[in-house]
Structures are given as C-alpha cells and as structure tokens.
C-alpha cells in the first residue's frame, strides 16, 4: 500500500532510513529498535487525500487533532482586525496526528503575518499569545465585510521548530486545499467571522479538510 508523503518529510525520512541502515549494520537489535522511530517518521509526514463536505458556507477544520475549549479572544493584532474579541476554535495536534494543514474556507488570503515567539506546550492557552506563529486572514468568497473575514493561525508547540506556509498575500484559496504544515506537534487557531454558527463540540476529534467546525451565515 502506497503512503502519500508530504514533500517536507523526504529529507527527514532519508536521514532516519540511513541511520537505521547503519544501526542494522553495526548491531542488528539496535536497528530493530530504531525501526520504530523510522516508521513513526514516515507516519508523521503522511499526507492522505481528503474530501471536503458539500456546502459553500461550511467552515472545515484546518488540522487533524483534538478541539480545545472554545473561548472569546482578540485575533492577532498584526492582521489589523481590531480589538473586538471573536470566538476562537483551537485544534491541538500531537505527534501522531497528520500535520498537513488545510484551508477552512474558499476565498482570498488578504493578509499574512509571521511573528517569532516562544515554544510553550501548544495545549496551553498562553501558546496562542506567546508562541511563534503564522497568521492568515482570509476573506471568504462572496463577502466584502471585514466582519466576515476568517483568521487561521499556525502555532509552534513545545517541540515544533518549523512552521511551513505556502501562501502569499492575494492568493486564491480553496476549502480543504493544503497550505502548509508544522513540525513536530503543534496547534492551529481559527478565529471565526462574527456571524458564524459553531456546529462542533469542544473535545471533538477533527479531521483536516473534512470536519465541519462552523457555518457562515448567508
């Protein structure tokens, strides 16, 4: 069975495989023991196909993981959305989840902002404010009111040391399409449009590009 792999993973898989081969050559049992890590590395960078559910007003999860408690929070100030709090949905990805990130809605990436920071455990609330992050402001298709803009934020975690975002300002995006990933273990925040209706429960397990988090109002 072929396992689809994200392009970011091939250098790491090559390193793990080479080290594994060396250990097998030096000492069989060391190679056998390290084989678990090589398999995990391959699994970490897996990139399965996903099919978004029908319905243009649905907001899908940008990440595989567990939905943390929903709170009201101010979006990242670097995106220029002002001080008004919005409902924030946060998805925590552990090291066993698929880490390829996907677009929650179709529209236009009207602003991107990277901010360096710390590396607290991504399950902590303070990670959204203090950790390294990459924020994207998206204007959904058919909307012109900034109140209907959506924000998705990639946040580095305790052991994550690289955020990959393939977007640039002005790019057209499609709901469920790949746009980046984070290595290794991390979190994504979604700041909802003011009028959006949440349809998922806290603690739910989400699947990137498929799980419906909320619905835009027509």
Average pLDDT over residues 165-178: 93
Condensed to tens digits (0 to 9), the pLDDT of residues 125-159 reads 666 777 788 999 999 988 878 888 999 999 887 66
Q: Is residue 179 part of a domain?
A: yes
E strand or H helix at 186, and its extent?
Answer: strand 186-191
Tell me, yes or no, whether 17 and 97 share the same domain. no
Tell me, yes or no, whether 78 and 166 share the same domain. yes
State the pLDDT at residue 81.
87
Residue 174 pLDDT greater than 60, yes or no: yes
State the pLDDT at residue 9.
80
State the pLDDT at residue 66.
94
- The model's pTM is 0.86
Tell me, yes or no, whether 82 and 131 share the same domain. yes
Alpha helix locations (H) across 45-188? 127-130
Per-residue pLDDT band for 122 (boundaries 50, 70, 90) equals: low
What pairing do the DSSP bridges indicate for beta strands 65-67 and 172-173? unpaired
Q: Is the dihedral of CA 201, 124, 117, 86 positive or negative?
A: positive
Q: Is residue 1 part of a domain?
A: no
Tell me, yes or no, whether 26 and 69 share the same domain. no
Catalytic site includes residue 144: no
Residue 2 pLDDT greater than 60, yes or no: yes
Q: Is residue 52 part of a domain?
A: no
What mean pLDDT is reported for the chain?
87
State the pLDDT at residue 191.
96
Q: Which of 123, 186, 195, 204 is catalytic?
A: 186
State the pLDDT at residue 169.
93
Tell me, yes or no, whether 80 and 152 share the same domain. yes
State the pLDDT at residue 125.
66
Q: Which domain holds residue 183?
A: 58-215
Q: What is the rounded distance in angstroms from the CA atom of residue 156 to the CA atom of residue 89?
A: 16
Q: What is the rounded distance in angstroms from the CA atom of residue 189 to the CA atom of residue 154?
A: 7
State the pLDDT at residue 75.
93
Higher pLDDT, 46 or 118: 46
Q: Is residue 77 part of a domain?
A: yes
Q: 10-26 and 28-44 helices cross at what angle (nearest 10)? A: 170
Q: What is the rounded distance in angstroms from the CA atom of residue 143 to the CA atom of residue 145?
A: 6
Tell me, yes or no, whether 67 and 143 share the same domain. yes
- Among 105, 133, 131, which Cα is nearest to 120's? 131
Q: Is residue 18 part of a domain?
A: yes
Tell me, yes or no, whether 37 and 109 share the same domain. no
State the pLDDT at residue 183.
76
φ/ψ (deg, to 5) at 115: -135, 120
Average pLDDT over residues 34-56: 89
State the pLDDT at residue 70.
93
Tell me, yes or no, whether 96 and 154 share the same domain. yes
Residue 188 pLDDT greater than 90, yes or no: yes
Tell me, yes or no, whether 70 and 170 share the same domain. yes
Q: Is residue 76 part of a domain?
A: yes
Tell me, yes or no, whether 179 and 203 share the same domain. yes
CATH code of 115's domain: 2.70.70
Residue 215 pLDDT greater than 70, yes or no: yes
């Amino acid at each position: 069975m072929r396992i689809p792999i994200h392009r970011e993973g091939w250098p790491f898989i090559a390193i793990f495989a080479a080290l594994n081969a060396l250990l097998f050559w030096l000492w069989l049992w060391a190679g056998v023991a390290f084989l678990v890590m090589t398999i995990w590395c391959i699994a970490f960078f897996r990139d399965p196909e996903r099919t978004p559910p029908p319905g243009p007003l649905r907001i899908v999860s940008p990440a595989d993981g567990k939905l943390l408690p929903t709170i009201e929070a101010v979006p990242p100030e670097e995106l220029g959305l002002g001080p008004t709090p919005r409902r924030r949905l946060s998805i925590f990805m552990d090291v066993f989840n698929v880490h390829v990130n996907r677009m929650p809605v179709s529209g236009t990436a009207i602003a991107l902002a990277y901010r360096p920071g710390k590396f607290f455990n991504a399950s902590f609330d303070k990670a959204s404010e203090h950790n390294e992050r990459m924020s994207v402001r998206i204007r959904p298709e058919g909307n012109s009111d900034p109140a209907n803009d959506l924000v998705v934020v990639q946040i580095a975690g305790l052991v994550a040391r690289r955020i990959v975002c393939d977007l640039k300002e002005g790019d057209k995006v499609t709901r469920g399409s790949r746009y980046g990933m984070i290595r290794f273990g991390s979190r994504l925040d979604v700041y909802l449009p003011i009028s959006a209706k949440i349809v998922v429960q806290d603690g739910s397990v989400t699947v990137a590009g498929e799980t419906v988090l909320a619905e835009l109002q027509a």
